[in-house]
Structure 1
Amino acid sequence: MKNIRLLLACTLITLLSCKNEPNKKMDISDPVPEEKEEKDEVKITPIEHASMILSMGDFVLYIDPTGEKKDYQGHQAPTHILITDIHGDHFDMKMIKYIFAEGVKIIAPKAVADQLPEKIHPNTIMMENGDEKKIDGLLVEAIPMYNTRKEALEYHPKGRGNGYVVSWEEERIYISGDTEDIPEMRNLKGITKAFVCMNLPYTMPVSTAADAVLDFEPEVVYPYHYRGDDGYADVRKFANIIKTNRPNTKVELLTWYKDEPKKKKME
């Protein structure tokens, strides 16, 4: 009898304790969710033709800023301004004076730096083809840009202007400037984003630009600077060549001209 009473008491205690347990089954085999750190991304804002804004982390790069003041209103102020060449679609003195502020650094070839106002000289970093400089945490490489066709040699002689490769975190961003499919472009390595020009008679045709891209294999390529004397280059043709021959390279078609017909998104 004593044993029966003891058994009943134990059973009652067990039932009462079970009421206090949450009605939820835990599976210790389920992994604890890890907190994923958001990776900073590069934000690309086309302005027009060769002009763009690249925002990445604390850096805001204005590339060849030209155009009208209203095109830049509402955007973050630049931390750095990169200029590729002396021509008016790349170098606009009025725009430089408008957007320049204390602390902003200008990266430019000598032909451009020589034309900047004296008060801007302390903020100017002159780079020649082949130079590589660490600037405020950015690695900047000056890549040659020039014409090779006899009929176009007068436009962009070798050594005057710079293309650029800007390295930030895991990104290596190539900005071609005005060039043809030169060996220095074809031999680029590890490019994550590439902005490649294609307009005649000043740079190169679509087929040549595509062939160069097939050589250096960027992760993503953005056709830009593609309005020439005969209108807009066929960037859809460019995209199809890349898609057919190098499907691992993604082509992004952005809107670079206000009066350009809208392009259908690549599939």
Structure 2
Amino acid sequence: MTVRHDGLTAEWLGYATLRVAGDDTVVYMDPGRYGVLTGEWEPDEDGVGHPPSRDYRPEDGDVICVTHVHHYDPEGIERVASDDATIVAFEGISGRDVDRDLPPVVDLPYDVVEVGMKESRTVDGVPLWTIPAYNEPGGPHTRPDGTPYHPRGFGCGFLVDVEGTRVLWTGDTDVLPGHKQVDVSLFCPPIGQRFTMNRHEAAALAAVMEPELVLPVHYNTFSTLAADSRAFAADVAQAGIPVVLDES
């Protein structure tokens, strides 16, 4: 489903993949992983709220943002990036993680801009800002020993201005104090609980931020990201904030 908002179209393509397009600009957030762009993804159970898997290769992206190594998928980038795309990647992505053998981002055949947790850039005519994204040590989104899945310095979120409309994808993070001050029109929070803010925390944040529209992502891709998206939408709507689910 394509969501229309303030002159833009937005589409959640599964997992953390978000496509935002204006008349002349296409931006992707965290494309790929787990087969959501190759047609290989399958739900853990029937009827789960999530975009269907498909073989997706538009190669139309002008700017491709990558928040952290867990969401870094070179094949996914290749499927969505145009020939002259620019990759904007968090500087902490080393090109490797414990389970995957990956090329460094700078070795991809595109222009690459590496960014830190709090930066302001204009990339190919697209103003963007990075914001911190992490789990608090000892907080609710940690391993059994209390260490965070995403420690401070592991990744970032992206606020992008696409043809005058500001879109926020927080990345994998708890709700952080700075989120409440972000001026955003389209807010795309993760609600998949274990590794990020859960649906209750995301709904409460939306009520404070007061965006013009909320489109949740990063949930129900697999069982540990299970979330009741309809309950989330009801909570956001009850706070007087427009909300939409893009699950089919």
Band of TM-score, shorter chain: 0.7 to 0.9
SS at match of 1:82: strand
Q: What is aligned with 1:251?
A: 243
Partner of 1:60: 26
Q: Mark the structure with the bigger radius of gyration.
A: 1
> Which of 181, 187, 197 lines up with 2:181 in the alignment?
187
TM (normalized to structure 1)? 0.72
Deviation at 1:250, TM superposition (A): 0.4
Instruction: Give the CA deviation at 1:218.
Output: 0.7
Report the Cα offset of residue 80 of structure 1. Answer: 1.4
Aligned length: 213
- Per the alignment, residue 212 of structure 2 pairs with 219
**Residues in 2 aligned to 1:130 and 1:121: alpha-carbon distance in whole angstroms:** 26
Deviation, 1:178, is: 0.7
Instruction: Give RMSD over aligned pairs.
Output: 2.4
Which secondary structure state, in structure 1, belongs to the residue aligned with residue 135 of structure 2?
A: coil
Structure 2 equivalent of residue 104 of structure 1: 85
Equivalence for 2:63: 80
- Is the 8 Å Cα contact of residues 199 and 205 (structure 1) preserved in structure 2? yes
Matched, 1:130 2:118: yes
Structure with the larger RCO, 1 or 2 (CA within 8 Å, 6+ apart): 2
Pairs within 5 Å for 1:14-93: 41-66=7-32, 67=35, 68-69=37-38, 71=54, 73=56, 75=58, 77-87=60-70, 90-93=71-74
What displacement does 1:112 show?
A: 2.2
* Structure 1 residues 54 and 169: CA distance shift in structure 2, 3 A: closer
Partner of 2:228: 234
Cα distance in 2, alignment partners of residues 80 and 65 from structure 1: 11
TM-score (norm 2): 0.77
Structure 1 residue 121: Cα displacement: 7.5
Alpha carbons of structure 1 residues 240 and 73: separation in structure 2 relative to 1, 3 Å: closer
Separation (CA, whole Å) in 1 of partners of 2:204 and 2:106: 42
| Deviation for aligned residue 1:180 | 1.2
1:128-167 alignment to 2 at 5 Å?
128-148=116-136, 149=139, 152=142, 153-167=147-161
**Cα deviation digits, residues 52-101 of structure 1 (max 9, x gap):** 221112211121111344546463521111111111xx211233345555
Q: Which residue identity lines up with residue 26 of structure 2 in the other structure?
A: V
**Structure 1 residues 156 and 95, CA, compared in 2 at 3 Å: closer, same or farther?**
same
AA at the equivalent of 2:237: K
Question: Offset of 1:193 from its aligned partner?
Answer: 0.2
Would you say the 8 A contact 1:83–1:107 is kept in 2?
A: yes
Inter-CA distance 253–101: structure 2 relative to 1 (3 Å threshold): closer
Aligned residue number for residue 173 of structure 1: 167
Query: Does the aligned pair in 1 maintain the 2:58–2:80 contact within 8 Å?
Result: no
Aligned partner of 1:124: which letter?
V
Alpha-carbon separation, structure 2, partners of 1:94 and 1:167? 26
1:111 aligned counterpart, secondary structure: coil
Gaps of 5+ in 1: 1-38, 257-267
Equivalent pair of 1:40/1:57 in contact (CA under 8 Å): no
Q: Match of 1:213, as an amino acid?
A: A
**Runs of 5+ consecutive residues of structure 2 not aligned to the other structure:** 40-53, 96-102
Q: Is the 8 A contact 2:141 2:174 kept in 1?
A: no
- Asked whether the 8 Å contact 2:84–2:110 carries over to 1, the reply is no
Structure 1 residues 65 and 151, CA, compared in 2 at 3 Å: closer, same or farther?
A: closer
Q: Structure 1 pair 160/122, CA: closer, same or farther in 2 (3 Å)? A: same
| Structure 1 residue identity aligned to 2:24 | D
Q: Structure 1 pair 239/151, CA: closer, same or farther in 2 (3 Å)?
A: closer
